[in-house]
Amino acid sequence: MQTTANGIAIYGNLKAEDDFTHELGPEENFNESVYFNFFDPKQNRGGFVRIGNRPNEGYAEMTVIVWNPDGSALFNYAKPAITHNDAWDAGGLKIDVLTPAESVRTTYDGSAVFLTDPKAMADPGKAFKNNPHQRLRINLLHDAVGPMYGHVGDPDDGNQFARAHTEQHSRISGEIQMGDEAPVAFSGWGLRDHSWGPRYWQATPSYRWITGNFGDDLGMIVRTNAAGEGGGLFHEGQKLVRITETKLHTEYADDSNYHTALSAELTLEDGRVRQLEGRVMGYIPLRNRRKGTHTHVGEGMTQYTLDGERVGYGLSEYLDQPED
């Protein structure tokens, strides 16, 4: 483990400079992506932004969503043309690494479709056509409250999803402006991640990725397979505590794979057992298509209760492959 000048821990075979873009790889499907979720517990408002550079394919994948307290959302997805991997700056979304491993600014200025019920995105063409569009502006600062952790994998390992990957919990501040409304101050927490290397969304088995923050001192990531078995970790300040066993149960909306609630028993490496309950406050079904295959990615803005008392917020992402 190493630390930055300001005491942020870095775990794994990473260095602070890994926060920046990397040399473009030779793979046709080379992807370098960054993702940031953010939740304001006082407003019950949250969302995420993601941009993945795919210069060898000539485009970037850009996604932005902001959920309102009533479950409605402003959403946009685009594949703007790019020719290089020098920066994340396309489709109105820009990522600026201010201090590696410590502080990043995300900004978006562009159009978004207003969805009273974001589940309408099950049919993207119809949703974009039949719902109103508004201007959305985001300006958020993501300051680290936990360590940066992850791995840089072996180029020969055949991994086609997240060969190199980092994650970090952050405190969020800034503002969001929706349509003609005045800017709204935003304050809360979130998680960011960064991956580089070849990626096909179809190359990973179905999974559940559950992220949450309970304040500056405590955040979590739970990862399981479709059966709800897996692990993860908590950050307690600059310390990482591994989850060695997870038993996850999920509730779904009738006749769908849209998750609505979850509960999990989390066994930690130090012997503690923690109980997690989650309630999905806002949900949107997304998908990735390649060569006729549709990968379902269900995104839920989720309120958590840990051990029956501590409340936090985050995002629960359920990815399902058709064959699973």
Structure tokens at 170: 């952050």
Q: Per-residue pLDDT tens for 14-38? A: 999 999 999 999 999 999 999 999 9
Q: Which residues of 222-235 are buried (b: 16+ CB within 10 A; e: fewer)?
A: bbbebebebbbbbb
pLDDT at 115: 98
pLDDT of residue 158: 63
pLDDT band for position 51 (50/70/90)? very high
Residue 33, pLDDT score: 97
| String of DSSP letters for 156-182 | TS--SS-SEEEEEEEEEEEEEEETTSP
Q: Which pLDDT score is estimated for 162? A: 66
CA distance 48 to 66: 7
What are the tokens at 317?
A: 């992402």
Give dist(CA 61, CA 2) in Å, integer. 32
* Residue 238 and residue 7 in contact, taking contact as beta carbons nearer than 8 Å: yes
Structure tokens at 245: 């066993």
| pLDDT reported for residue 294 | 87
Tabulate helix, strand, coil % of the chain (nearest 5): 5, 60, 30
Exposure b/e, 42-72, CB count within 10 A at least 16 = b: eebbbbbbbbbbbbbeebbbbbbbbbbeebe
The model's pTM is 0.96
Query: Residue 217 is encoded by which pair of tokens?
Result: 């001192």
Whether pLDDT at 155 is above 90: no
Cα–Cα distance, 34 to 104 (Å, whole number): 11
- Token representation of residue 176: 């969001």
Are residues 192 and 168 in contact, defined by beta-carbon separation less than 8 angstroms? yes
Q: Are 70 and 64 in contact (CB under 8 A)?
A: no
For residue 40, which of 191, 235, 182, 190 has the smallest C-alpha distance? 190
Residue type, 52: G
pLDDT of residue 137: 98
Q: What is the pLDDT of residue 160?
A: 60
Pull the structure tokens for residue 96.
Answer: 């600026």
pLDDT per residue as tens digits for the range 277-310? 999 999 999 998 887 788 999 999 999 999 999 9
pLDDT for the residue numbered 206? 95
Of the listed ranges 144-158, 177-191, 238-252, the one predicted with least confidence: 144-158
Mean confidence (pLDDT) of the chain = 95
Q: Is the pLDDT of residue 161 over 70?
A: no
Closest to 90 (Cα-Cα) out of 82, 102, 98, 100 = 82
In the predicted structure, residue 1 carries a pLDDT above the cut 90: no
The model's confidence at residue 201, banded by pLDDT at 50, 70 and 90, is: confident
Among candidate residues 304, 297, 244, 249, the one with its CA nearest the CA of residue 280:
304
Any bridge partners for residue 230, and if so which?
Answer: 224, 246
